[in-house]
């Protein structure tokens, strides 16, 4: 049966039997509407004659009609692919004293991609810090789409059976299931569905398995030196919600200089720790001020915390140095420069009122925030695909944590984020909901069909 709703001036939507008809809002005459109805019926019959083909029609003077054939996600292939990824230890070396890396999982994933007919390249940001890129060639006359996931995980200490990939009650357990090998497996299963459909798309589909997202994103930075697409879907876990923004971060170091002296020589010593204390008082005021500023609609207000502090050399010595690392979480519109300027103005004020106060601030590592334009083509297409697969429109959200989506957007690639449901990212119990991974794979396949043509 076909469910059809229409208004003579407005939008016509149709969703039935796994197919979609999207129409732009514009005025239609009753005659045009009836003709469209007849054409839809004809197209449905054509579709039934070619059940494994994805067909796109553009009618002269009529709205674009995208007709998508059934996309079969191979559930057992999806689960086996995910389980194999989980069983490969790909803990970021930062969390394993350098004893693990992404090389094994990248080469394994490369083999999986080759078996699907993809062209595979490996990219190393450092020895064995390997990212993998697979390209499913299209006909060469359409838009290219990147499906993104990172392949490194955080550590596995204190986890029971972190690499077991055990399935219980529809959940797969283990490190990386939720953050984010589930998303990677969904990307692969989506490509397999497209390959199995027999359709050769106009544009390329590029799957990226990036290294080092959990620390400094050197993997994706390296990949972006070699790979560009017209749009990207990041499959970090979002509980099947559509994420259009995330925060950035700026790591800064403040170093206060004192003067070392014997503990009895107060007239000679300048206490760097005490001076840092005065700075921390002002920093505390700034932190509270940040959270009273107008919040971003999707990611809320900015924040900061005094993460690491180290000062002094012995109990009987005036501290000559005190060093503080600050993490500042930025929202769209803020930059590293603006975050540094706030700290510098505190240092200037303290130096202005105390001639012995000497300090400097310098950036350590910054990553920008991310914000997608809701009207962009990829956002519209993924939103429509998710609405169809989930039978209701996905929530629009922002995430507080950083993702590689910002690097993609900075590279001029329209990007949106949608991923599976689960829990336990960076925690001792991690799992992903397999139904949601299946849904993500279907959303990706449908989005690729519509975007790549
Ligand atoms: Zn992640």
Higher pLDDT, 232 or 71: 232
User: Distance (Å, rounded) from C-alpha 228 to C-alpha 70?
Assistant: 29
- Whether residue 263 sits in one domain with residue 130: no
Beta strands at 303-311 and 242-246: parallel, antiparallel or unpaired: unpaired
**CATH number of the domain residue 302 falls in:** 3.30.70.360
Distance 123 CA to ligand 1 centre (A): 19
Distance from the CA of 404 to the center of ligand 1, in angstroms?
9
What is the band of 10 on the pLDDT scale with cuts at 50, 70, 90? Answer: very low
The CA 334 to ligand 1 mean position distance, Å, reads 23
- Confidence band for 199, pLDDT divided at 50, 70 and 90: confident
196 and 319, same domain (yes or no)? no
Tell how strand 242-246 and strand 396-399 pair up: parallel
39 C-alpha to ligand 1 centroid (Å): 45
CA of 311 to the centre of ligand 1 (A): 34
Q: How far away, in angstroms, is 361 Cα from ligand 1 center?
A: 30
Reduced to 3 states (helix: H, G, I; strand: E, B; else coil), residue 21 is: strand
**pTM of the full structure:** 0.81
Last residue of some domain: 20, 41, 67? 67
Domain boundary among 44, 67, 90: 67
Query: Do 435 and 289 fall within a single domain?
Result: no
154 Cα to the center of ligand 1, angstroms: 9
pLDDT (mean) for 180-187: 98
Compute the distance from residue 214 Cα to the ligand 1 centre, in Å: 7
> Buried b / exposed e across 430-448, counting CB within 10 Å, b at 16+?
bbbbbebbbbbbbbbbbbb
Question: Where is average pLDDT lowest: 38-47, 214-223, 331-340?
Answer: 38-47
State mean pLDDT over 183-193. Answer: 98
**Ligand 1 centroid, distance to 392 Cα (angstroms):** 26
Query: How far does residue 427's CA lie from ligand 1's centre (Å)?
Result: 13
Q: Kindly state whether residues 172 and 132 are assigned to the same domain.
A: yes
363 and 374: one domain? no
Distance 159 CA to ligand 1 centre (A): 18
CATH number of 408's domain: 3.40.630.10
> Into how many domains does the chain fold?
3
CA-to-CA dists, residue 59 to 32, 62, 322, angstroms: 12, 5, 70
Buried b (16+ CB within 10 A) or exposed e, 10-32: eebebbeeebbbbbeeeebeeee
Q: In this structure, are 265 and 329 located in the same domain?
A: yes
Residue 117 and residue 27 share a domain:
no
CA 18 to centroid of ligand 1, rounded, Å:
31
Q: How far is the CA of 82 from the centre of ligand 1 (A)?
A: 15
The pLDDT of residue 38 is 54
Last residue of a domain, one of 42, 67, 92: 67
CA distance 270 to 251: 27
Residue 69, pLDDT score: 55
Tell whether 209 and 316 lie within a shared domain: no
Rounded to the nearest angstrom, the distance between the alpha carbon of 197 and the centre of ligand 1 is 30
- What is the distance in A from the centroid of ligand 1 to the CA of 310? 30
Mean pLDDT, rounded, for 4-26: 34
Shared domain for 253 and 332, answered yes or no, is: yes
* Cα-to-centroid distance, 234 and ligand 1 (Å): 10
- Give residue 395 CA to ligand 1 midpoint distance, Å: 20
Same domain assignment for residues 63 and 102: no
Query: Residue range 352-363: average pLDDT?
Result: 97
Mean pLDDT, range 423-434, rounded to an integer: 96
With CA atoms as reference, report the closest residue to 412 among 141, 144, 230. 230
Question: Count of CB atoms within 10 A of residue 177's CB?
Answer: 33
Dist. CA 406 → ligand 1 center (Å): 13
The pLDDT of residue 23: 38
pLDDT at 70: 59
The tens digit of pLDDT for each residue in 35-94 reads: 544 554 444 444 333 333 333 333 333 333 334 455 799 999 999 999 999 999 999 999
pLDDT tops 70 at residue 436: yes
Find the 236 Cα to ligand 1 centroid distance in Å.
Answer: 6
Mean per-residue pLDDT for 311-325? 98
Mean pLDDT of 294-313: 97
Confidence (pLDDT) at 21:
36
Judgement on whether residues 156 and 117 belong to the same structural domain of the protein: yes
Residue ranges making up the domain that contains 211: 75-245+370-452
- Looking at residue 64, its pLDDT comes to 35
**Distance of CA 177 from the midpoint of ligand 1 (Å):** 10
Ligand 1: centre distance to CA 291 (Å): 25
Tell me the CA–centroid distance for residue 180 and ligand 1, in Å. 5
5 has pLDDT over 60 = no
At 387 the pLDDT is 98
Q: Share the mean pLDDT of the chain.
A: 88
The alpha carbon of 439 and the centre of ligand 1 are apart by a number of angstroms equal to 19
Q: 399 and 360: one domain?
A: no
């Amino acid at each position: 049966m076909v469910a059809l709703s229409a208004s003579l001036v407005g939008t016509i939507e149709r969703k039935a039997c796994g197919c979609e008809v999207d129409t732009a809002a514009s005025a239609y005459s009753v005659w045009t509407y009836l003709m469209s109805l007849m054409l839809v019926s004809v197209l449905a019959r054509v579709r039934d004659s070619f059940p494994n083909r994805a067909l796109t029609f553009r009618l002269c003077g009529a709205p674009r009609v995208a007709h998508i054939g059934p996309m079969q996600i191979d559930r057992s292939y999806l689960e086996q692919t995910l389980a194999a990824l989980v069983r490969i230890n790909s803990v970021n070396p930062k969390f394993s004293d350098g004893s693990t890396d992404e090389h094994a999982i990248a080469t394994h994933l490369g083999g999986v991609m080759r078996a699907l007919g993809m062209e595979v390249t490996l990219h190393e940001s450092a020895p064995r810090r390997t990212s993998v890129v697979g390209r499913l060639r299209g006909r060469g006359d359409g838009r290219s789409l990147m499906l993104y996931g990172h392949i490194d995980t955080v550590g596995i200490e204190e986890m029971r059976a972190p690499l077991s990939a055990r399935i219980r009650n529809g959940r797969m357990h283990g490190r990386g299931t939720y953050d984010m090998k589930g998303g990677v497996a969904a990307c692969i299963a989506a490509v397999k569905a497209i390959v199995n459909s027999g359709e050769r798309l106009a544009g390329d589909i590029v799957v990226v398995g990036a290294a080092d997202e959990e620390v400094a994103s050197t993997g994706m930075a390296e990949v972006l030196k070699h790979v560009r697409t017209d749009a990207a879907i990041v499959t970090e876990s979002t509980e099947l919600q559509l994420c259009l923004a995330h925060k950035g971060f700026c790591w800064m170091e403040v170093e206060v200089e004192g003067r070392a002296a014997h503990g009895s020589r107060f007239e000679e010593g300048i206490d760097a720790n005490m001076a840092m204390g005065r700075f921390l008082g002002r920093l505390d005021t700034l932190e509270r001020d940040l959270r009273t500023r107008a919040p971003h609609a999707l990611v809320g207000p900015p924040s900061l915390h005094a993460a690491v502090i180290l000062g002094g050399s012995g109990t009987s010595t005036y501290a000559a140095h005190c060093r503080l690392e600050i993490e500042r979480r930025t929202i769209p519109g803020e930059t590293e420069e603006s975050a540094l300027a706030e700290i510098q103005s505190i240092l200037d004020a303290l130096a202005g009122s105390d001639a012995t106060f000497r300090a400097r601030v310098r950036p350590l590592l910054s990553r920008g925030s991310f914000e997608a334009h809701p009207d962009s083509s990829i956002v519209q297409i993924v939103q429509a695909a998710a609405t169809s697969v989930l039978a209701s429109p996905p929530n629009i959200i922002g995430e507080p944590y950083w993702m590689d989506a910002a690097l993609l957007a900075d590279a001029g690639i329209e990007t949106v984020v949608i991923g599976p449901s689960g829990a336990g990212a960076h925690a001792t119990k991690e799992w992903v909901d397999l139904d949601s991974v299946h849904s993500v794979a279907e959303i990706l396949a449908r989005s690729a069909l519509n975007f790549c043509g």
